[in-house]
Every structure is written in structure tokens, then in C-alpha cells.
């Protein structure tokens, strides 16, 4: 029996990177998993991998910036998996630019994917969790939600919002036995990190070498972050809510 046996989890951005690693880990710990993403091919691959290993998983095609899609994702999770105990709001994008360089459309897109999606998914998930007697919500923030960073103003603004949304939600919904926490990863080896290098016009090798300049001397892996999500989702964190868990190899330590 895994630490999440009998739980039902919905993971946004579950087709790749941190979301994929978390879906696979949660499933290995006994959870039934709904993988929500716009990348249908990759999402179906993740669910098939879980099913092939004997687990239960579904793929939900979902634009997390649209209320109807978020409501549908929650409904399908409940209908197909039998309930919803864990919501991992993990979908996210980045635009590396200053205020001057960022277009209004880019600003709106970053805020919609990184912030509005958490509002929408949680809006529809919380009543389900309350009715069931409780649940867990995990939001993906960033180290740049706690400190500023260069050439990433929309991303920093969005992740700062995620951090404080997490605290506010923990206060609002603790009485419903819903724990709400935030993971703030450091640079992690995902497609988004490589996309940052492209946006900045820097070679992957140079960008990743600079990103590894932290006390542990390396960038994170999706599995590093998935393990943190597993802790927060499990009963091991039963008295943990409203917290911001930094998982960054010491990058913010000094």
C-alpha cells in the first residue's frame, strides 16, 4: 500500500516535466490520477504508462484558462475516478522580458495560465473536497515568487500571486479540512527551462551551467519536485498548510 492509496488526484500540466513526474509518482504510491493538459499525445502517453504499470489514470484535455474546461476536468475526475482528494495546480508558462518588452497579450497569457488557472480549478474542486470531508491543494510557485528576477516581470508577478493566493486559501478553507500549500522550485530540467534559454538567445549549455550555480551544484530534476509534492499530498504533512516549500538546491539561501 502506497502513501496515497485510495486517493484521487488531478494534476494540471500533467503531460510533461514536473506534472508528468508527479503523476507517475502519485500513481506508484497508489493514487488514481487525472492528467490534465493541452498536449493530448503526451498526456495520453503518461496515462498509458500508468495503466501499463497497473495503475488507474485518465487524460483530460483541458485549457486551464477557461472556466468550462476546468469545471469539466473536475467533473470528469469525480465521475471517472470516484472523487477528488488532491489537486495539483502545476500548469505554468514563462515569458522572459521586461515591462517595456512585454506585450499586453503576453502579460495576460502568463497571468491566465499561472494564476487564473489556480483560481478556476480550485473554485470547482473545493466544493467537492468539502463534501468529502477534506482534501489537499498544491500550487506550483517559484523561487521568483519570493524574490525578484531579471527579464521576467510577468512571471515574477504571477508567481508572487501564487504564493500569497496559497496563504489566503489556506486561511479560508482550513475549517473545511482542506490543506493548501505551495512548492517553489528552483531551476528544474524541464522543457520550460530550455525555452527560457531560447527566449534569451543563450545556448542551453551556458544557460544550464549558470542555473546550476547554487550550493548543491546542480539544477533540479522533475522527480525532485514530485517528491516534495508527494510529501505535501500525504498524511505526513497532515498539519502543514499555508506553507511555501522551497525546493531549489539552496539557490535562495544566500
For residue 53, give the 3-state DSSP assignment: coil
**Residue in 140, 155, 207, 224 annotated catalytic:** 155
DSSP-assigned beta bridge partners for residue 180: 137
Query: 98 phi and psi, to 5 degrees?
Result: -85, 175
Asked if 249 and 216 count as a contact pair (C-beta separation under 8 A), the reply is yes
* Cα–Cα distance, 232 to 228 (Å, whole number): 6
Q: State the first-to-last Cα distance of the chain, in angstroms, to the nearest integer.
A: 40
* Cα–Cα distance, 197 to 42 (Å, whole number): 23
Nearest to 91 by CA among 67, 62, 69, 71: 62
- Number of C-alpha atoms within 13 angstroms, CB side, residue 189? 12
* Cα–Cα distance, 101 to 143 (Å, whole number): 22
155: annotated active-site residue: yes
* Cα–Cα distance, 78 to 141 (Å, whole number): 26
Distance of CA 141 to the CA centre of its chain: 8
Q: Is 101 exposed, middle or buried (0-12, 13-18, 19+ CB in 10 A)?
A: exposed
For residue 236, give the 3-state DSSP assignment: helix
Q: List active site positions.
A: 155
Amino acid at each position: 500500500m502506497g502513501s496515497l492509496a485510495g486517493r484521487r488526484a488531478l494534476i494540471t500540466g500533467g503531460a510533461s516535466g514536473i506534472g508528468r513526474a508527479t503523476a507517475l509518482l502519485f500513481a506508484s504510491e497508489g493514487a488514481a490520477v487525472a492528467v490534465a493538459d493541452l498536449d493530448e499525445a503526451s498526456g495520453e502517453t503518461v496515462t498509458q504508462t500508468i495503466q501499463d504499470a497497473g495503475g488507474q489514470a485518465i487524460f483530460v484535455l483541458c485549457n486551464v484558462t477557461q472556466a468550462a474546461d476546468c469545471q469539466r476536468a473536475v467533473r470528469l475526475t469525480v465521475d471517472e475516478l470516484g472523487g477528488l482528494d488532491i489537486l495539483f495546480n502545476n500548469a505554468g508558462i514563462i515569458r522572459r522580458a521586461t515591462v517595456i518588452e512585454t506585450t499586453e497579450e503576453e502579460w495576460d497569457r502568463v497571468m491566465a495560465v499561472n494564476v487564473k488557472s489556480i483560481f478556476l480549478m480550485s473554485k470547482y474542486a473545493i466544493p467537492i473536497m468539502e463534501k468529502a470531508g477534506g482534501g489537499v491543494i498544491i500550487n506550483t510557485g517559484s523561487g521568483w515568487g519570493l524574490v525578484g528576477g531579471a527579464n521576467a516581470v510577468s512571471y515574477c508577478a504571477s508567481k508572487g500571486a501564487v504564493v500569497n493566493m496559497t496563504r489566503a486559501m489556506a486561511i479560508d478553507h482550513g475549517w473545511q479540512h482542506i490543506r493548501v500549500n505551495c512548492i517553489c522550485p528552483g531551476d528544474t530540467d524541464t522543457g520550460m527551462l530550455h525555452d527560457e534559454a531560447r527566449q534569451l538567445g543563450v545556448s542551453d549549455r551556458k544557460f544550464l551551467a549558470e542555473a546550476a550555480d547554487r550550493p548543491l551544484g546542480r539544477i533540479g530534476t522533475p522527480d525532485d519536485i514530485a517528491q516534495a509534492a508527494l510529501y505535501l499530498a500525504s498524511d505526513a504533512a497532515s498539519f502543514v498548510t499555508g506553507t511555501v516549500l522551497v525546493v531549489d538546491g539552496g539557490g535562495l539561501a544566500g
